[in-house]
Chains A and B, each alone.
Chain A
Amino acid sequence: MEKLLEVNNLSISFTQYVQGLNRNESKVISDLTIDVNENEIVAILGSSGSGKSLLAHSILGILPYNSHVTGTLKFKGKTLNQEIKEELRGHEICLIPQSVNFLDPLMKVSDQAIGECENEEEYNRKKIKQREVFSKYGLNESVDDLYPFELSGGMARKVLLSTALLNDPDLLIADEPTPGLDSKSVEETIEDIKNLKEKGKGVLLITHEIDVALKTADRIAIFYSGYVIEINKAENFKNKENILHPYTNALINALPENGFKLTEGVQPLDIVEGCPYYENCPIRLEKCENTKPELIDHNGIMIRCFNFKEANDGT
């Protein structure tokens, strides 16, 4: 399996002005490490509004100018800079955005899917392709001439997906593809994403819905307060024994089938010195308060917790 995407120690922070024009630095993503292979769906699971989307924006090189980024990104082994990102985006890496708001409100959807064309001939070629992809997802010709606001939720989802697939990318980044959809559309979306994997594509799924992540992904990265605290195989989530981090456990316990055991406490908003989960952790150690645990490999599970040692059982 070839590694499509590698993210190493990515941190993203913003400078903002608050009342009285004092400057404020806020860190949204800290020391994030993750990879996506061909033929694989990796989910990033974290609460909504926690800044997960910025990972996608950073891969595509569309972060706002007041952001500050450290760490490295690699695509097919090649380190990405802004220039390469601009070449890749829309061709080899495509985004499936959150909602219909990501479409130009004043442009017909087919024209948006086709995108910019140099000449008539290119347009006609892309138009055929667009029709092909649209019909594959059950969007008939009448949809082509609709404006985004005229689309229903499920239709919008399919338009966004087809738009992303038009250029046949290797890596897809799906940013919250399910919220606001009815359960049937959610199932369809999950199926669609799984089908992409069957075709050998890699998918980075960003979501806050744990059941969507469990149903869709091969591996799940748990995102907490800007940090990835655990990356585990989706199948391990069926058996609590294989879940390592106490926060992940809390998440699993909160699922309906496990009796809704909700955890107390909130995610810290300020930058903390120690483990971000220290305040709420049931198994915290003394050193957790002031030292930050690194993300380590514990028998194939990536974990950020002092209770686990770096280990390799040889698998």
Chain B
Amino acid sequence: MSENPWYNKGLFSSLNLREKTLLTIALTGLVLVVIFICGTMINNIPTNFDTKMQAPSFVHIFGTDWMGRDMFFRTIKGLSLSIIIGLGASIISSIIATILAFLASSNKYLDSFVSWLIDLFASIPHILLIMMISIALGKGAFGVIMAVAFSHWVNLTRVLRAEVLQINTSEYVALSNKFGKSKFWIAKEHILPLILSQIFVGTLLVFPHAIMHESSVTFLGFGLSPHEPAIGIILSESMSYLAMGAWWLAFFPGLALLIVVLLFDIIGDNLKRLLDPREANN
């Protein structure tokens, strides 16, 4: 009931919500791309035992580790690795989700099978499930990507299943059925284009979870091998030096990981809002 609504106050007063949302998505996306590109360009972090275990300074803003490696470069490298793993895992999980959603919507038995599968996967603690899959696949990047992918398809499957069921009842699908088009043709031509945006947003929403779970299992020792420059490895290494007061070994890499996860979260949420304006009215 105020004269000047909330969105017209403050810093971005000249922008409307749509422009602000788009701007947020673009900026966060840019930051992530920069981190990713920088990370892939860092190939060799020099070791220098003269400068080992140094606290953060202007020369090494995140400090150095016990081999004198610069923690900032290690962190950025680790983040880019996290992004790659996260990307792989979320894409695979979205593919699984899409396939299962189509299966579920095709007939009653498959539908109850998929719901049973969802129940099954929801009944084992996530981390334990990821550990088990990763162990079964021999750990490493492949094991982690598959493990994270196979434990994160549940939510998107639920969303897509409902969506596909709804589209299936529409008139043009009924018409295509009458014209004798195959189920596969209808799925490909009519349904898939309509749920593509949902799949895209779903993939993005899985991303932060994927990154976090990858670093968690790697930290526990069930993910990437200790030779990889992953954040989980960095943090698990840091455990040995914490008692000596080398706080920077754990603090900055973890914070950086948090920020990356947060940025992915922000992109996902904003995109979701753009496609589904109901929430914005709240």
Say whether B1 contacts A19, CB under 8 Å. no
Say whether A21 contacts B273, CB under 8 Å. yes
A20 CB contact (under 8 Å) in B1, B2, B277, B281: B277
Size range of the interface on B?
10 to 19
A63 CB within 8 Å of chain B: yes
Say whether B277 contacts A17, CB under 8 Å. yes
B57 CB within 8 Å of chain A: no
Say whether A19 contacts B277, CB under 8 Å. yes
Nearest A residue to B2 via CB reads A65
B5 CB within 8 Å of chain A: yes
A69 CB within 8 Å of chain B: yes
**Cα-based distance from A65 to B6 in the complex (angstroms):** 10
Instruction: Please count the residue pairs between chain A and chain B whose beta carbons lie under 8 angstroms apart in the complex.
Output: 34
**Counting chain A CB atoms within 10 Å of each CB, which of B16, B273, B275, B277 scores highest?**
B277
| Chain B at the A interface: SS class | helix
Q: A17-B281, A66-B281 are in contact. Are A23 and B16 (CB under 8 A)?
A: yes
A22: which B residues are within 8 A, CB to CB?
Answer: 16, 18
B275: which A residues are within 8 A, CB to CB?
Answer: 19
**Counting chain B CB atoms within 10 Å of each CB, which of A16, A20, A67 scores highest?**
A20
**Cα-based distance from A82 to B281 in the complex (angstroms):** 23
Say whether A21 contacts B1, CB under 8 Å. no
A19 vs chain B, min Cβ distance (A): 6
B274 CB contact (under 8 Å) in A21, A23, A65: A21
B17: which A residues are within 8 A, CB to CB?
Answer: 17, 21, 23
A125 CB within 8 Å of chain B: no
A238: which B residues are within 8 A, CB to CB?
Answer: none
A266 CB within 8 Å of chain B: no
Say whether B277 contacts A21, CB under 8 Å. yes
A63: which B residues are within 8 A, CB to CB?
Answer: 1
Say whether A20 contacts B18, CB under 8 Å. yes
A263: which B residues are within 8 A, CB to CB?
Answer: none
A194-240, CB < 8 A from B:
none
| Chain A at the B interface: SS class | strand
Say whether A67 contacts B1, CB under 8 Å. yes
Chain A residues with a Cβ closer than 8 Å to the other chain, count: 16
Nearest B residue to A65 via CB reads B1
A18 CB within 8 Å of chain B: yes
Say whether A20 contacts B274, CB under 8 Å. yes
B281: which A residues are within 8 A, CB to CB?
Answer: 16-17, 66
A7 vs chain B, min Cβ distance (A): 16
B168 CB within 8 Å of chain A: no
Interface string of B251-282 (1 = CB under 8 A from A): 00000000000000000000001110100110
**Cα-based distance from A81 to B1 in the complex (angstroms):** 12
B18: which A residues are within 8 A, CB to CB?
Answer: 20-23
**Cα-based distance from A15 to B5 in the complex (angstroms):** 9
B275 vs chain A, min Cβ distance (A): 8
Interface string of A10-39 (1 = CB under 8 A from B): 000001111111110000000000000000
**Cα-based distance from A103 to B120 in the complex (angstroms):** 39
B21 CB within 8 Å of chain A: yes
Interface string of A251-294 (1 = CB under 8 A from B): 00000000000000000000000000000000000000000000
A16 vs chain B, min Cβ distance (A): 6
A17: which B residues are within 8 A, CB to CB?
Answer: 17, 277, 280-281
A82: which B residues are within 8 A, CB to CB?
Answer: 1
Nearest B residue to A23 via CB reads B16
**Cα-based distance from A19 to B2 in the complex (angstroms):** 24
Say whether A66 contacts B5, CB under 8 Å. yes
B277 CB contact (under 8 Å) in A18, A66, A68, A69: A18
Nearest B residue to A16 via CB reads B281
**Cα-based distance from A69 to B2 in the complex (angstroms):** 9
- List 15 additional A-B contacts (Cβ < 8 Å) besides A21-B17, A21-B273: A15-B5, A17-B17, A17-B277, A17-B280, A19-B275, A20-B18, A21-B16, A21-B18, A21-B21, A21-B277, A23-B17, A23-B18, A65-B1, A66-B281, A67-B1
Interface positions of A (Cβ within 8 A of B): 15-23, 63, 65-69, 82
Q: Pull 28 A–B residue pairs with CB atoms less than 8 Å apart, ordered by A.
A: A15-B5, A16-B281, A17-B17, A17-B277, A17-B280, A17-B281, A18-B277, A19-B275, A19-B277, A20-B18, A20-B274, A20-B277, A21-B16, A21-B17, A21-B21, A21-B277, A21-B280, A22-B18, A23-B16, A23-B17, A65-B1, A65-B2, A66-B5, A66-B281, A67-B1, A68-B1, A69-B1, A82-B1
